[in-house]
Structure 1
């Protein structure tokens, strides 16, 4: 059965939190955030003012999510959306859930008049890079730094 792609809602919070922890801790090997911080982030995204999340649901179970954050680009003098996360649980990779989530994000950006949808992935995440190229994305000219 194909996954249903939709915006997250209040009832998704426990499963969404578990998926986000898989993504943060298991996939990216980042430190586990406090429950309060993760709960607060999910609450902000549920408000859909600073960002939002789409989820992939199959048989009542969330299998993936994509997070969009709303911002602006000075060089474009326009609003843009950043797809900060696109994650599908390991047992559902290759199922089409990632493509569905990506397309939902792109459709949202188009429908709401964003000048661009930007995203990044780890330099060593070859699978994601192949996926994004298949979706029509291309590598940008900028390097990403953090501090």
Structure 2
């Protein structure tokens, strides 16, 4: 059973919405922003202006996704990539699917001339931290803040 990693296509809208619901509500226990808002986000990512989304597919079923957003770094004076999401369904965690999605984000970052890709993960998401460290990532020294 081969896993295919590819950029999101318009026909992925409905199955990707379901996968993102599993991620937002099922995995992170957050409130669902609504299908309309998610559809707008997916459609905005399809043109690769604000970012790009990749899906993992096996047997015509979406089993994971990752999302890169673009911003700029004053310190680098260049566009950089932020990996905002990397999610696979439970049956494929701790498998090559996570690695392939991560590597696709990393490859895209390099191909499009971004000097680096960064991301954050929940402090309690030890599985993800182990994956990132196994793939050669370095834990950053910056402290993450947010405000509502």
Identify the TM-score tier after normalising by the shorter chain: over 0.9
**TM-score, with normalisation over the residues of structure 1?**
0.97
Equivalences, count = 147
* Separation of aligned partners in 2, 1:45 and 1:146: 23
Counterparts of 1:123-142 in structure 2, within 5 Å, are 123-142=123-142
Over aligned residues, Cα RMSD in angstroms? 0.8
SS at match of 1:123: coil
SS at match of 1:55: strand
SS at match of 1:120: coil
In structure 1, stretches of 5+ residues that fail to align are none
* Separation of aligned partners in 2, 1:95 and 1:101: 11
Q: CA deviation at 1:140?
A: 0.5
Q: Deviations over 1:90-111 (max 9, x none)?
A: 1221331110000000000111
**TM-score, with normalisation over the residues of structure 2?**
0.96
Partner of 1:44: 44
Contact 1:86 1:102 in 2 (8 A): yes
Q: Deviations over 1:72-91 (max 9, x none)?
A: 11112211000000000112
Counterparts of 1:72-83 in structure 2, within 5 Å, are 72-83=72-83
* Separation of aligned partners in 1, 2:48 and 2:75: 25
SS at match of 1:40: helix
Instruction: Pick 1 or 2: higher relative contact order, CA cutoff 8 A, min separation 6.
Output: 1
In structure 2, stretches of 5+ residues that fail to align are none
